[in-house]
Amino acid sequence: MDKKLIFFDIDGTIYDHDKQIPASTKTAIRHLKEHGHHVFIATGRAPFMVSPVLEELGIDSFISYNGQYVVFEGEVIYKNPISAQSLEALLQHSETCGHPLVFMGEEGMRSSVDDHPFVHEGIGSLKVEHPKHDPSYYKGRDIFQVLLFCEEPDEPQYGHFREFDLVRWHERSTDVLPAGGSKAEGIKKVIEKLPFDREDTYAFGDGLNDLQMIEFAGTGVAMGNAVPELKKAADFITKPVDEDGIAHAVEALGLLA
C-alpha cells in the first residue's frame, strides 16, 4: 500500500498507565517502519523528555511541545517559541495568583518556585522530578511551552492572555501554548516538508491536547481509554492502550496490508 505519515501521542497511547510500552505496540511500530511508513511521536513533552521513547522504538522524527518544535529524521524543521514579553507578563500574573510555572526550553526546564505540591504531583505523573528553581529561565533562551499549575476553576484568571491557548493535561496543571499552536500545526509543517497530503496522515491519541491533531489527520484514531471529546472527534476508536489498542488499530485499518 502507499506510504503514510503516522503520528503517535505518548502518554496513554504509546505508554500504558505504568509508563511502559506494551510489547504489541513495539511490534506494530516495527512493522509499520518495515512497510515504509514514516512514524512520528507527537507529544506535549519536551524534546529532552522523549529520547527514551525514540530510542526504544527506533524513531528519529517527532513533534514535541504540542506542535511548537518539530524534528524530521533528526533535523529540526520548525520552532515556534513564546515571546519573552508574554512570558514576563504571565509570570507576574501567576505570582499574583499564587500559581507556579515551569518554563520549558529546548534542552531543559525550570520552575518559578523552589517547591510546590502541585508541581510534584503533575510533573511526578510523568515520572519526572520537580524542576530546579529559576524564575528567570525564560530570559535569553527560547521557551516553547509553559506548564501552569492550577486547578480548572482557576483558569479564567488567565482568560485575558489572548496570545496563549490553555490545554489541560492534568487536574493540577494546564499547558500554556502560543495561540493557535497544536499538534495539528506540527503535522502541517511535516506535510510541507515532505511530499504527502493530509489524507496520507494517521494520528493516534487519548487526551485533550490531541483533539486538533485527531480532527486534522486524514484518519484520527482515539484510544479506547481516550477522553469522550476525542472519541467523538475520531474516525476510529480502538481498544485501550493496555489491551493492545495500537496493534488492533494498525491491523483494522489495513496499514500493514
Residue positions annotated with a catalytic role: 9
| Residue that is written with C-alpha cell 515504509 in the block | 36
